[in-house]
Amino acid sequence: MDAQIKPESSVAGTGAKQKISLRAVLLSLVVLLSNIVINGVIFMFFRDSTLNPLLTAVLAVLWGVLGVYLIYYTLTWAVEQYPDYIRRKVLPYIFIGPAVIILGWLLVLPALRTLYLSFFNASSEKFVGLSNYAAIFSDHLMATALRNNLLWVFVGTLACVCFGLLIAILADRSSYEKIAKSIIFMPMAISFVAAGVIWKFVYYYQPGDEQIGLLNAVVTYFGGEPQAWTSMLQPWNNFFLIVILIWMQTGFAMVIFSAAIKGVPDDILEAARVDGAGEVKIFFGIMIPIISATILTVTTTIIVFTLKIFDVVMVMTGGQYDTEVVATQFYRQFFMYRNFGYGSTLAIVLLIAVLPVIIINLRQFRKQGGF
């Protein structure tokens, strides 16, 4: 008797699940379409609005806050109508879904469009295949830009990592650790544009004996000749620009390395000292292997910064005096010369250069349990 009842209960339960799921699907569609229609109407209202700009801005902020809340609330309510086994699978996508859609809209679609434009001529009217890619590696200006980018990558990254690691070790043993770290980290609070303006005054040069640039003032004080550091001294002027990156990113590297060093077990260090190991041997034989994953993460992160460098070069020299990099060349070709095909190709080349570094970073995060 029991054997006959169980299948019937099972069938009934399955039917109930199917019925609830159908109702939930209909509710989900209604809620989703309602959100799209309502927010679309509000967007059209703000786009065509003739209200006072300040009032429009206030209302837009309110719409942004309340609109996001209502979207998440209504979608969550709709998912709550599903059975538990479906709810557990769908609910996480409700929270990450809008972010993924926005990223796809703002990053993936523009990247695909840029890739498409890279196969066309300057006016995007004639298909030219791989001609733009071939032109990149035969252009003298691009050769200079690629050379400079390599300088930024190798010199800038190596200096930031080495100085950051050295300062982290020294500051960790100093009684003024907090003050020292605050001073070193302070440039991180400044944008690259602001840093470029500051260092423009540091390197400033004018003919004559009176110098307002800090570096030239120091040079002339000790009897030297003032120099146009970012223009006349080629190709050394690129190294003077890289100093700005080192000044800004060393603090970032120092903070990350300091946190990693503090995570090295004290008992291992004490055991090494008891065995007679010196501080240099402890540093290279124990600390470096333990924090190697952190070193890789910091290195790849700074490499991405250097590959995309634009602000400092544009503010300091505008890409003149053989300081051109790929990003400034892209800006010049795409926005100034209106060469959309060549400019798009430069953007794709830059993306291809950055992608391997990002993949290495993501794999490292996965190994560390970041996601």
For 282-327, the pLDDT digits (tens) are 888 888 888 888 898 899 889 988 988 999 999 998 888 889 998 9
What was the pLDDT predicted at 6?
47
- Report the half-sphere exposure of 74 (CA within 13 A, side-chain side): 17
For 225-279, the pLDDT digits (tens) are 888 888 877 778 899 999 999 999 999 999 999 989 888 888 888 888 888 888 8
CA dist., res. 83 & res. 17, Å (int): 7
Are 303 and 350 a contacting pair, CB within 8 Å? no
Quick one: what percent of the chain has pLDDT higher than 70?
A: 93
For 144-166, the pLDDT digits (tens) are 888 899 999 999 999 999 999 99
What was the pLDDT predicted at 12?
45
227 in helix, strand or coil?
coil
Both structure tokens of 42: 């509000």
What was the pLDDT predicted at 162?
93
Predicted TM-score (pTM) of this structure:
0.76
Exposure of 141 by Cβ count < 10 A (0-12 exposed, 13-18 middle, 19+ buried)? Answer: middle
208 in helix, strand or coil?
coil
Q: What is the 3-state secondary structure (H, E, C) of 329-347?
A: HHHHHHHHCCCHHHHHHHH
pLDDT bucket at 9, cuts 50 / 70 / 90: very low
CA dist., res. 138 & res. 120, Å (int): 18
R_g over Cα of the chain: 29
pLDDT bucket at 369, cuts 50 / 70 / 90: low
Q: Which of 325, 340, 369 is nearest to 150 (CA)?
A: 325
